[in-house]
Each structure stands twice: as C-alpha cells, then as structure tokens.
Amino acid sequence: MAHGKFIASVFRNPKLKELIHKHLYEKDGLMLGICNGFQALVKLGLLPYGEILDMKPDMPTLTFNDIARHQSKIVTTKLVSKLSPWFNKINLGDEFVIPISHGEGKFVANEETLKELEANGQIATQYVDEKGNATYDIRYNPNGSVLGIEGITSKDGRILGKMGHSERCYTGVIKNIPGNPDQKIFESGVEYFK
C-alpha cells in the first residue's frame, strides 16, 4: 500500500492534478490502474468519483487482505459491467483467469457507496467461484473484498482500477492453467483512440 500512497501523493501536485483532469475531461482520455495503480486511483478519489479529491474517512479504500499476508495465485474474475471502454472487446459475463499478487487488495466501502456503485454499473469485475458467483470464499476471493469486487470504474467508465494483473497475461504465461486469461484490456484501450 505504501506504493499506492506514494503514487497518490505525487499525483496531488497541483500541476499534475490539472494535467490529469485535462487528459480525462478535455481530451476524452482513459486511465488504468492495476494493483498498486488501483490503490493510488482509489486514494486519489479518481475511483470511484472521477476526480482528484481530498480523502475523507467514508471514502472507499483498499486495505490488508483478510488473511493478513500477501497472496500470489491465479483467480477467476467475471465481467459484470460493460460501462468501461477498457472492456469493449469482451462480453458481459465472460470469465477470466488472472494472476494476483498483493498484500493489501481488499476493497471496502460503506453500504451507501456500494449501492451507488452497483446502481451506476461501476462494479466492473468480481472474484467468482466455480459456478461463476461472486463470493467471499478465500479460495476464490483472495483478499476478502466486499461483494467480491476485483475492479471498479469511474461513473463514465473511462477510469478503471483492478487488482488482477492483466498485464501479466501474454502468450506463453500461465499456459498450463485452464481458462481464458486475455481480457483484451490493452487492445480495447488502443481501439478507443482510433
């Protein structure tokens, strides 16, 4: 989490903050944060609010895994919202095998925020069990995230944060694990600008 906090403190620089907001809202840009990047986006308020804000105690956060130690394994996640252009090349309900590696990846938020995220379609991906259901079971949800949340978006979907390492799913990696590892996130991000 120290990395996420450090990244967030750098991005709070007024000039950098202005450039980020300009990138997002004047240039119709995208942002993606994976693992520590996701932590930073949440610490900044960019997720789920879409802008850099001062932190308040009732805002969502990412905290220590329920087992109070680092987890590194392959998990199954499911796309539960097509709000984000980062997921334009896959289908709602698709499941993916994704590597995770973190000690502080538990997404937590108050009841009001969770209801708002659900209503807005901002819960993008969830950790799921063998039947495709979101779960708190430690075998499938490696950190104890509420509602099995693995990734969320901003209200417009252009900012995506997720714990699973999609960037580690390239040809020749985890090829002995059954399931599809390719969420086509990076293809979708490039295509967004064409």
Task: Output the pLDDT for position 172.
Answer: 73
Average pLDDT, the chain: 93
CA-angle at 65, arms to 61 and 69, nearest 5°: 135
pLDDT digits (tens, 9 = 90+) for 76-92: 999 999 999 999 999 99
In the prediction, which pLDDT does 136 show?
Answer: 97
Please tell me whether residue 48 adopts helix, strand or coil conformation.
Answer: helix
Task: Tell me if residue 23 is catalytic.
Answer: no
The better pLDDT of the pair 8, 4 is held by 8
| 186 HSE (CA, 13 A, CB side) | 9
Q: What is the pTM of this model?
A: 0.94
- What are the start-end ranges of the E strands in 1-158? 31-34, 61-63, 71-79, 95-102, 106-108, 123-127, 149-153
Question: Which residue in 35, 102, 104, 150 is the catalytic one?
Answer: 35
> Catalytic: 165?
yes
Lowest mean pLDDT among 51-60, 120-129, 160-169, 170-179: 170-179
| Residue % of the chain over a pLDDT of 70 | 97
Which runs of consecutive H residues, i.e. helices, occur in 30-110?
36-44, 46-49
Sign, CA torsion 113/115/117/120: negative
pLDDT band at 1; cut points 50, 70, 90 = very low
Please indicate whether residue 35 is annotated as part of the active site: yes
Q: Which of these CATH numbers, 3.40.50.880, 3.30.390.30, 1.20.1630.10, 3.40.50.1100, describes 2-192?
A: 3.40.50.880
Residue 161 clears pLDDT 80, i.e. is over it: yes
* Annotated catalytic residue, options 51, 95, 116, 165: 165
Tens-digit pLDDT profile for residues 120-133: 999 999 999 999 99
Which is the catalytic residue, given 23, 167, 169, 187? 167
The continuous run of DSSP H or E covering 191 comes out as helix 185-192
Residue 123 is classified by DSSP as E
